[in-house]
Amino acid sequence: MLPWHQYLLGVVFVLAGFMHFQKPKLYERIMPPYIPAHKTMVILSGIVEMILGFMLLKEDTQNYAAWGIIGLLVLFIPVHVYMLQEEKASLKLPKWVLILRLPLQFLLMYWAYQYA
């Protein structure tokens, strides 16, 4: 039996991935212009988040999932930086929230690392 917090992280990633399909325009808006094919990238990242979330819920795939989540979170850092730099990408969130999202990425990486 997996610990409850592992299930929580898995579900968080499944739901986060699902949101890419519910609000794709929102995710496209926060992507830096140097990333190509925004629509495709939003769909792909949503699929990958959901797959990794489900994989984290199985003992035999949790190690791969944990490392995949860490890699994905590293790839998302430029998006968080872009949201801080560009007002149109900030989603009208307060600056302190945008700043707080960066260390949150590293906390999520540490959380995922617990299952690697």
Per-residue tens of pLDDT for the chain, all 116 residues: 999 999 999 999 999 999 999 999 999 999 999 999 999 999 999 999 999 999 999 999 999 999 999 999 999 999 999 999 999 999 999 999 999 999 999 999 999 999 99
From first CA to last CA, the distance across the chain in angstroms is 16
Which pLDDT does position 48 carry in this prediction?
98
In whole angstroms, give the CA distance from residue 74 to residue 88: 22
User: What residue spans define the domains of the chain?
Assistant: 4-113
Which pLDDT does position 71 carry in this prediction?
98
